[in-house]
A and B are shown apart, each in its own frame.
Chain A
Amino acid sequence: MPSDSTADEYRQRAAHLRRLAARLDDVPLADVESWAGPDTWRSPGADDCRQQLATDRQRIAHAADDLRQRAWMFERQADAVDAAAATLLAFQAR
């Protein structure tokens, strides 16, 4: 498939964002949250910490989703660039 430097750049950025998302997925916040339950500690401070952990876990999950969405967009843009380039080549060949 024909491709130009702009399409490659989009794809590289997409791959980078997906790797970053995967790293966020690997942050063991769910494990931390499960160990931070009332069978480990019970106090107002512990409650605050647990609540913050839950919020942060959701933030991290959203951040990972956001990265994947951006990556998907970059990939689509790369495909569009490739498609445009192919159309141009076909036109020039006539």
Chain B
Amino acid sequence: MSAGFIGYDLVRVLQLRTRVITAIEALRGVTSTDDAAADASTTARGVRANLEGPCLALLDRIIASDALLTWLSSFGGFDTLAPALTPAQATDAHRLAALARAVIGDDGHDGDELAALHQALGVASLTPRVLVGMFIALGGENTAALLVRLGEPSDDEDEQIAIATSVRSALATASRQHRFPGDFGAVLVDGFIDRLDDEFANPAAAMSFLFTNEAFGAELLAVTTRRVVEHERAAYPDGAGQVLWLPAYGSVLNRTFGDGDEHTAPGWMLSEDPMYAVLDALSRNGEAGRAVFTDDVHARYLLTERLYHYDGLHAVTAAAATAAAGPDVVPGAAEAVLVDASKVASAFVNFLGVRPYLFDQPLHPDASTAAATILGVHLFSVHNAVLSPEPMDAPAGKTIAIPDKFRTGPAPHGAFLDEAALDTVSNLAVRRDDGLATVRAALDVFQQQRAAVVAALLAEGAVVRDSDVNEAMVNAARLEAYFIERAGHQAEAIGRDKDEVISFFVDTATFGLGQINRKVGGVPVLSNVLSGAAGAAKEQLAGYEADAAREAEQYARAAADQLLYVWYRELHAAGIIDPDLPASALAGGLLVDWERYRQLPDDVRQTVEATLRESHGLPISTGAVIDAIKVAQLPTYQDLE
């Protein structure tokens, strides 16, 4: 620190420097060639020299000292900026913050202040580092206050919206590239809450605006979301958190929100409850979503308790889907990401599955797709839960080790899915066509991969029991059947033709690389619980009415045919079976894919199927596969009698 200083306020020092520069520029304009003005010109030059000399030099010595950076560091988190702000950057940051404070001021908007802030935010040379400095200098509470103020009515609404957009963009950019002090997001939310009762203020719209259409850094977004949840839970433990935000006034910023549609309320109405915008922002950031949904308290609140009247669960399910099954949840991702994604999948199923009156409210079609996407990416865990159903004592998000007969080494971990909750969420997943197609695509990939794993083991000469192979095929059929059954039920529940829906589900199988080509937690797992599936199925069938069985049979046979073909194709590709097959069924020495196969003439397909069944030498029970699928459908048809 420079010698001779007793004390100073650095923000005011920076503002003083700005004013000195303004005065110097004003004096520079006082020139004249008139002899009568000679004395005045001399005085102006002298005063300017004084300002530029000792006064400005003194100010610059303070700013250039390490005192400013030390002071900034005292906010916490600033030391993560490497290197820290240069004095010039710190000056810019504080100049921006000072302008923002002037806009927030209680004296009403001054057009010059708005214009100055707008102009300053638009300077191309502003770096994210300077922007972080500005927001730190301004503080979370004042950042909220600025946005709230910019939403209040005035004669400069266009300018206000433009500035608010710049502020939003600046905060998002800065949060993506630098860490903010740990409590910035929480204080930001507190700032909005503190203004709920202000005259002409609409903090809900301001906060909704902030989190609309921008991608925020994961840390800031997660901290913000958790704080919103904490405030809402404290105020309305029954889940009616939206009441906390109900605005008494309109907002200029409402002009920026879009129209609604048949499933979602218009933007100005959604903006009455900023949770929609916050969740929407989470749906663009899986890392932030995982930081929120892996906490059971927050997951329970958001998925089980919190009421959403305006969007049919679109935002919350989209946020969870990105966290559990977003584009960064892929094979090869960091172990921590996959584990957290599995926890979110578990939380999604277990908490949403016990949500009261889930199907008694209008649901957005995308909620079905989101559920299907999560189940699809975590089909490994779903498969385990279907074959080894297990209730959970109390809903939670957790992972479990899932044993796998066809895998060496430690058992991979997957999502623990409560039996009843999985039933509910599976019904949600297949409730709409997009969800149904998503599940179908995921099953295609899953079944093909599992067949390939078993075929590869056999090809390598691994010791694999015949009964295990047969069981694997039957279990694959059980998984198909699990979703076929629910598709039929849901079709009836929403007034559609069950046959049409089941037919769609069965007939759209491609067993190629579909929309979802991911799995979490390693290879598909086979249950050791089921044994003699065929026998059990036949016993169950014996009690059912013939008509129902006949209707179920039709789809069971179709589903079984394609499932078996997938398995035979993988066994053939691995060289386990090598019969003489019609040339039209082969491509490059391999059996054609299912799409092409199903288009072959009936007689060719019958020949291929008969040849494959006779040649494999494995005790695969076609009847057991068909029965496994049929049994699951029977309740659907019997319920409808």
Q: A residues bordering B, Cβ < 8 Å? A: 13, 16-17, 20-21, 23-24, 26-29, 31-32, 35-36, 39-46, 48-49, 52-53, 56, 59-60, 62-64, 66-67, 70, 74
Contact = CB atoms under 8 A, between A and B. Distances in A.
Contacts of A48: 54
B62 A59 contact: no
Interface stretch (B33-41, B202-210, B246-254, B624-632): B33-41
Given A27-B23, A59-B43, A59-B46, 10 more contacts: A16-B32, A17-B32, A28-B19, A31-B23, A32-B20, A40-B8, A40-B12, A40-B16, A53-B55, A64-B40
Contacts of B6: 42-43
Contact of B26 (A28, A42, A53, A67): A28
A22 to B, nearest CB: 10
B220 to A, nearest CB: 32
10 contacts: A17-B32, A20-B37, A27-B26, A32-B23, A35-B16, A39-B9, A49-B55, A49-B58, A52-B55, A70-B36
B607 interface: no
Contacts of B36: 13, 17, 67, 70, 74
Contacts of B20: 32
B30 interface: yes
B50 interface: yes
Given A23-B30, A49-B58, A36 B16 contact: yes
A59 B16 contact: no
Q: Interface majority SS on A: helix, strand, loop or mixed?
A: helix
B518 to A, nearest CB: 60
Given A32-B19, A41-B8, A49-B54, A20 B32 contact: yes
Interface of B: 4-9, 12-13, 15-16, 19-20, 22-23, 26-27, 29-30, 32, 34, 36-37, 39-40, 43-44, 46-47, 50-51, 54-55, 58, 62
Contacts of B23: 27-29, 31-32
Contacts of B58: 45-46, 49
B4 A40 contact: no
A43 B9 contact: no
Contacts of B51: 32, 56
Contact of B15 (A20, A35, A49): A35
A20 to B, nearest CB: 6
A74 B51 CA distance: 32
A45 B3 CA distance: 10
Contacts of B44: 24, 27, 60, 63
Nearest to B54: A49
B9 A41 contact: yes
Which 5 pairs from chain A and chain B are nearest by CB? Answer: A41-B8, A40-B12, A63-B40, A63-B43, A56-B47
Contacts of B19: 28, 31-32, 35
A32 B16 contact: yes
B13 A41 contact: yes
B232 to A, nearest CB: 40
A40 B46 CA distance: 25
Contacts of B34: 13, 16-17
A21 B40 CA distance: 9
A52 B16 contact: no
A59 B9 CA distance: 29
A56 B55 CA distance: 12
A59 B46 CA distance: 10
Nearest to A73: B36
Contact of A41 (B29, B43, B50, B62): B62
A55 B13 CA distance: 21
